[in-house]
Amino acid sequence: MFKKILIANRGEIAVRVIRACKEWGIQTVAVHSTVDKDSMHVRLADESVCIGSHQPANSYLNISAIMSAIQLTNAEAVHPGYGFLSENANFAKILEENKIKFIGPSSKLIKMMGDKIEAKKIAKKYNLPVIEGSENGVSDLKQAKEISKKIGFPILIKAAGGGGGKGMKIVHNEKDFDLSFSSAKTEALKYFGNDEVYIEKFFQNPRHIEVQILSGKNRTVHLHERDCSVQRRHQKLIEETPSPLLTNEIRKDLFEKTVNMVTKIGYEGAGTVEFIYEDGKFFFLEMNTRIQVEHPITEVVTGIDIIKEQIFIANSGDTALSQEDIKPRGHAIECRINAEDPSKNFQPSPGTIGICHLPSGFRTRVDGAIYQGCNITPYYDSMVCKLICHGRNRSEAIQRMIRSLDEFVIEGITTTIELHKKLLTHKKFLDSNFNVSWLDNEKII
């Protein structure tokens, strides 16, 4: 097993990885920016190295500084967490060349699945249903229009190198097409350095369903699905497993097809295959080649520590799990606690945390990096911690989540806690009668 792992991340996910390493007796190295010197991940790690200033480009995205930190501390492997360099094929390649293990798939696979057009072709090749649209990138306006008319409006123009909702344009009718097409190309070039775009049918009321997989050289297993349909501006807010909507028949089909594709591409590590689900049908969206924020809900229903499995696969090349080992029990929900003000259009709310009381009790888990007196700076993501509750069934999980949210006290900053209380008691959530655009169309707070 590895003797020392460097965690190229910050916040709650860095703490999560450090905890897993500690339990296995693996030494940990935290890297941090100047403003993060008092962060919890720095305090919990065995060693820490300051790698740059507050701006991510100078620190958490600074590959050469991280390489120096690896050299200084003799770390054997790097856990990238999520965000930052976790899906950066160049970073993975540099590590490969320097014989440092990247805890994740090969740089080749990261690159392959990072190109959205390429990923869609692969999904189609291995029989996953894909969203109707252009097979390749389209550069010609006339051709783009022809394709769109064939699919039928509304359509979506997406950047090949894209993600995070940027460079994405919804076009509702033909007359708006020309303008949207040219601005999508301009934005794609600006954000991703590549003006290649492709066209897809736009779904009006979809749910977001994803399948967690763990894969080694020996086999691929799935850890069932997660339903992440409570979103605001394409950002997940509440996730749950199992999905209240899927039938066992659809579920079986979804898992079989996903595992088949992941096996065929020779994937190694943890990954998530994301789908759009509408009217009883699922369509491949993309594959995330890293750990995800919402992984704990899968952990609490399956009893499997996904971070440890990632480390195990990175070290041995194989997964120790077989499909029979994975028997999820009950229902789990995660609420993301963000430092933002839902009543002011989710405006960021940085500041110093005063009183900080975390909920606890039966089947309540908090994954975070906050403590009384810690400073939530404005330089990084607004998510400060996650609350995960497990119940025998969905209604017990909801009851436990409401009870836990009631116990939660964070003073000094505005958070999404109050919004979550309203959402969890909302009829639409209780009936699971909503889609990904619910919060964009209805003001709850």
Partner 1 sequence: MEIDKKIIKKLIDTLENLKKSLKGEDIFDNNDPVEEEIEISKTVVKSPIVGTVYTAPEPGAKPFVSIGNKIKKGQTIMIVEAMKTMNHVPSSMDGVVKKILVEDGQPVEYDQVLIILG
Comparison of 55 and 182: residue with beta carbon closer to partner 1? 55
Stretch that binds partner 1, among 339-347, 355-363, 414-422, 423-431 (CB under 8 A): 339-347
Comparison of 83 and 328: residue with beta carbon closer to partner 1? 83
Q: Is there binding between residue 339 and partner 1 (CB under 8 A)?
A: yes
Among 308, 350, 403, 417, binds partner 1 (CB under 8 A): 350
Q: Is there binding between residue 340 and partner 1 (CB under 8 A)?
A: yes
Q: Is there binding between residue 348 and partner 1 (CB under 8 A)?
A: yes
Nearest-approach distance from CB 9 to partner 1, in angstroms? 15
290 is catalytic: yes
Question: Which residue, 188, 138, 196, is CA-closest to 166?
Answer: 188
The site map against partner 1 for 360-399 (x = CB under 8 A) is ------------------xxxxx-----------------
Nearest-approach distance from CB 348 to partner 1, in angstroms? 4
Among 55, 68, 260, 437, binds partner 1 (CB under 8 A): 55
Nearest-approach distance from CB 35 to partner 1, in angstroms? 8
Nearest-approach distance from CB 32 to partner 1, in angstroms? 16
Q: Are strands 383-391 and 331-338 parallel, antiparallel or unpaired?
A: antiparallel
Comparison of 313 and 335: residue with beta carbon closer to partner 1? 335
With helix as H, strand as E and coil as C, how does the chain read? CCCEEEECCCHHHHHHHHHHHHHCCCEEEEEEEHHHCCCHHHHHCCEEEEEECCCHHHCCCCHHHHHHHHHHHCCCEEECCCCCCCCCHHHHHHHHHCCCEECCCCHHHHHHHHCHHHHHHHHHHCCCCECCECCCCECCHHHHHHHHHHHCCCEEEEECCCECCECCEEECCHHHHHHHHHHHHHHHHHHHCCCCEEEEECCCCCEEEEEEEEECCCCEEEEEEEEEEEEECCEEEEEEECCCCCCHHHHHHHHHHHHHHHHHCCCCEEEEEEEEEECCEEEEEEEECCCCCCHHHHHHHHCCCHHHHHHHHHHHCCCCCCHHHCCCCCEEEEEEEECEEHHHCCEECCEECCCEECCCCCCEEEEECCCCCCEECCCCCCEEEEEEEEECCHHHHHHHHHHHHHHCEECCCCCCHHHHHHHHCCHHHHCCCCCCCHHHHCCCC
Nearest-approach distance from CB 342 to partner 1, in angstroms? 14
Q: Is there binding between residue 428 and partner 1 (CB under 8 A)?
A: no
Stretch that binds partner 1, among 97-105, 199-207, 308-316, 345-353 (CB under 8 A): 345-353
Q: Is there binding between residue 316 and partner 1 (CB under 8 A)?
A: no
Comparison of 165 and 361: residue with beta carbon closer to partner 1? 165
Nearest-approach distance from CB 180 to partner 1, in angstroms? 21
Looking only at residues 189 through 208 of this chain, which bind partner 1 when binding is defined by CB under 8 A? Answer: 190
Comparison of 56 and 216: residue with beta carbon closer to partner 1? 56
Q: Is there binding between residue 37 and partner 1 (CB under 8 A)?
A: no
Comparison of 315 and 377: residue with beta carbon closer to partner 1? 377
Alpha-carbon dihedral 371, 381, 388, 441, rounded to 10 degrees: 130
Nearest-approach distance from CB 72 to partner 1, in angstroms? 26
Question: Which residue, 380, 404, 122, 87, is CA-closest to 263?
Answer: 122
Nearest-approach distance from CB 443 to partner 1, in angstroms? 19
Comparison of 35 and 417: residue with beta carbon closer to partner 1? 35
Comparison of 54 and 308: residue with beta carbon closer to partner 1? 54
Q: Pick the catalytic residue: 10, 207, 226, 290?
A: 290
With helix as H, strand as E and coil as C, how does 15-59 read? HHHHHHHHHCCCEEEEEEEHHHCCCHHHHHCCEEEEEECCCHHHC
Distance of CA 425 to the CA centre of its chain: 25
Q: Is there binding between residue 153 and partner 1 (CB under 8 A)?
A: no
Comparison of 181 and 380: residue with beta carbon closer to partner 1? 380
Stretch that binds partner 1, among 41-49, 64-72, 286-294, 347-355 (CB under 8 A): 347-355
The site map against partner 1 for 243-282 (x = CB under 8 A) is ----------------------------------------
Question: Which residue, 102, 134, 164, is CA-closest to 310?
Answer: 102
Q: Which residues are catalytic?
A: 290
Which residues bind to partner 1, rule: CB under 8 A? 35, 54-55, 190, 339-340, 347-348, 350, 378-382
